Amino acid sequence: MSDKTYLIGLMSGTSLDGVDAALICFDADHPAGYLVASQYDPYPATLSARLLALQDPSDNELHHAALLANELADLYAITSNKLITKTSIRPTAIACHGQTVRHRPDAAYTIQLVNAARLAEQTHTTVIADFRSRDIAAGGQGAPLVPAFHAAAFGQHNQHIVVINIGGIANLTDLPTTGNITGFDCGPGNGLMDSWCLMHTGHSYDSDGAWGAQGTIISTLLSTLLAHPYLHQAPPKSAGREQFNLDWLNTLLTGDELATDVQATLVAFTALSIALAVTTHCAPNVDGIYLCGGGVHNHALVHALQNALPNLPLQRTDALGIDADWLEAHAFAWLGWQTLQNLPGNLSAVTGARHTCILGAIYPA
């Protein structure tokens, strides 16, 4: 690879908070790419609410989904064009994750909304989208896909490390010095905490975990949460709002709990479910854990996770050379680059697919 190739990676996750765009350069010295510039645009509150409504069956949902796919394409185009304008760099392609509204690998489908043709039209740029469907067609979970990128970016270190992404759902990648790379969704990340916070405070997230820190952990509730069957299921596995949502949480409450106590319990639940995944499924002798995703900004959560894993130092992936806030967008740029090179983007040991696959559908400019 002699020349520089630029791709924009677009990521909008389970948290439904907005779109991350990362302009990534790939060259011979940086086969996993490096960050050139970034752009974040929040979702309008009404958009988040309408996307959340699509998580469950509703009247005329096909029409609503199509309109939302158009609206998302418009927002993604605005964000991408801002990045192109401020850098004066025209990327070879835009790799767009889309917005997950249903993830049902058990029924052999997953839906990430975006009108990719509309996005290509509005940016005058080739778009690569629908990264998860081919893995599912090959018998996989379609998720998580970022472990393949973690392996490409971090797998050359002589230490056994675990990378934990705390987005709406938390996932981990185990990168031992020898043996198979593994990865899976641990369980809830920010999504459940954010939903509870929004319902009770009107704020979309608990800044630094300060609101939840006012509460006291409800031990009986925490024990019930930790008994969720998903947490004790062997990988490969992937999760979403289908497993961890407010409707499920409310079935476990009496209604007499203080909202701050429930939030404190959700922080503990999230940290302990991640720690359980590390201690149960990652090989022994882990040298360090590296965090990325929005959860790195929740100091209460990071503190709880460190307490749950007292012998393992926690650092951000910044220490490995990739900004924790932009890692997932970077990962999807890399996945798009893999597609353009006709190289596989999944790890079958992670997703459970029968074989590795070239991922994504290409919409030419």
- Which has more confidence, 219 or 180? 219
Position 197 pLDDT exceeds 90: yes
In angstroms, how far is CA 63 from the centroid of its own chain?
A: 26
* Mean pLDDT, range 192-212, rounded to an integer: 93
Position 223 pLDDT exceeds 90: yes
260 burial (CB, 10 Å; 0-12 / 13-18 / 19+) is middle
Examine the domain organization and report whether 171 and 58 are in the same domain: no
Examine the domain organization and report whether 121 and 167 are in the same domain: no
180 burial (CB, 10 Å; 0-12 / 13-18 / 19+) is exposed
Q: Which of 290, 312, 334 is the last residue of a domain?
A: 312
Position 123 pLDDT exceeds 90: yes
The proportion of the chain whose per-residue pLDDT surpasses 70, expressed as a percent, equals 99
Q: Is residue 338 part of a domain?
A: yes
Examine the domain organization and report whether 136 and 165 are in the same domain: no
- State the pLDDT confidence band at 1, using cuts at 50, 70 and 90: very low
Q: Is residue 119 part of a domain?
A: yes
Q: Name the DSSP letter for residue 90.
A: -
Backbone φ and ψ of 271, nearest 5°: -65, -45
Q: Is residue 321 part of a domain?
A: no
Amino acid identity, residue 109?
Y
Listed in sequence order, the residues at least 6 apart from 186 whose beta carbon sits closer than 8 Å to its beta carbon are 164, 169, 170, 171, 172, 231, 273, 274, 276, 277
CB atoms within 10 A of CB 89: 15
Q: Is residue 317 part of a domain?
A: no
* Mean pLDDT, range 290-308, rounded to an integer: 96
CATH number of the domain at 249, please. 3.30.420.40
Is 86 in a helix, a strand, or coil? Answer: helix
Examine the domain organization and report whether 293 and 150 are in the same domain: yes
Examine the domain organization and report whether 243 and 272 are in the same domain: yes
β-strands 169-175, 182-188 pairing: antiparallel
Examine the domain organization and report whether 239 and 155 are in the same domain: yes
Is 89 in a helix, a strand, or coil? Answer: coil
Which pLDDT tens digit goes with each residue over 10-55? Answer: 999 888 889 999 999 999 999 999 999 999 999 998 999 999 899 8
Please tell me the distance from the alpha carbon of residue 193 to that of residue 267, in angstroms, as a whole number: 7
What is the pLDDT, as a whole number, of residue 269?
Answer: 98
Examine the domain organization and report whether 164 and 124 are in the same domain: no
Domain that holds residue 104: 5-141+326-363
Examine the domain organization and report whether 167 and 153 are in the same domain: yes
* Mean pLDDT, range 53-77, rounded to an integer: 93
Two tokens, residue 186: 């641990």
Q: What is the mean pLDDT of the chain?
A: 95
Examine the domain organization and report whether 306 and 187 are in the same domain: yes
**Of 116, 203, 149, 127, whose CA–CA distance to 320 is shortest?**
149
What is the pLDDT, as a whole number, of residue 285?
Answer: 87
What is the pLDDT, as a whole number, of residue 2?
Answer: 53
Range list of H helices, the chain: 45-53, 61-87, 116-123, 133-137, 146-154, 191-201, 219-226, 246-250, 259-281, 299-308, 327-340, 348-351
Q: Is residue 320 part of a domain?
A: no
90 burial (CB, 10 Å; 0-12 / 13-18 / 19+) is exposed
By the 8 A CB rule, do 25 and 34 touch? yes
Position 188 pLDDT exceeds 70: yes
Q: Is residue 300 part of a domain?
A: yes
Position 9 pLDDT exceeds 50: yes
Examine the domain organization and report whether 152 and 136 are in the same domain: no
* Mean pLDDT, range 219-226, rounded to an integer: 98
By the 8 A CB rule, do 277 and 184 touch? yes
* Mean pLDDT, range 130-150, rounded to an integer: 97
- What's the predicted TM-score (pTM) here? 0.94
Q: Tell me the Cα Rg of the chain.
A: 20
What is the pLDDT, as a whole number, of residue 258?
Answer: 98
- The domain total for the chain is 2
Examine the domain organization and report whether 102 and 155 are in the same domain: no
Examine the domain organization and report whether 118 and 14 are in the same domain: yes
What is the pLDDT, as a whole number, of residue 45?
Answer: 85
Listed in sequence order, the residues at least 6 apart from 280 whose beta carbon sits closer than 8 Å to its beta carbon are none
